[in-house]
Amino acid sequence: MSLLTLFLLAFVGAITPGPDILLVMRNTLLFGFMQGVKILSGIASGWIVYLAVLYFGFGYLFNGKIAQIALSTLGAIYLAYIAFMLFKKSATHIDIPDSNLQNNNSQVSQDSNTLKDKPDTYLKALIINLSNPKAILFFSVIVAPFIESSPLISLSVLFCGLSSAFFSVILLATFFRNLICDRVFHIIDKICSILFACFSILLLYHAYDIFMS
């Protein structure tokens, strides 16, 4: 029962609104299933770092005041940068073709492949995850009590719960992607830029609140 509770805790915690799930959903909607998986691999690498810290008993490293202020500040700056880049992007940069459409041309397909193969997507996802106070709080405070007995099994169940949640979002976004026109893709980018900016402000407030406490 405790392992089932841990799985459900990980699943629900993963799908609650945050920069990680937003980044996965946006990239899957705009670029397809494989891009969503690529982003997830970066986020999952961050999970592995947190799980390793918990497994070896170094959870206190993320609970320190200086560490949380530094991570929150860096995360806020990076999210603000992403928000700015998304907001200034023109509609022509996100004209993503679907393989099932009949009116694709080779030039647009080539541009789409270039977008899909961005080398910074994995690193971007990793940085966002490691600088996310929600993830730090989730792993160091909420999850830690569940892994005192059988830590390896508990951490494996935790990883499966997190992965299941993100894969569910990727599959849903992949399905709905075929129902969205290019103009909506452009609107999605603008909405995501606003949400990333909000997350950035929240991170700065989090850092300020810790500093003043």
User: Measured between alpha carbons, how far is 60 from 57 in angstroms, rounded to an integer?
Assistant: 8
Q: What is the DSSP letter of 203?
A: H
Q: How far is CA 20 from CA 23, 110, 146, in A?
A: 5, 28, 23
Place of tokens 């459900």: 8
Whether 37 shows a pLDDT value over 90: the answer reads yes
Q: What is the DSSP letter of 145?
A: G
Choose the weakest-confidence range: 92-96, 104-108, 176-180, 184-188: 104-108
Q: pLDDT category, 142, cuts 50, 70, 90?
A: low
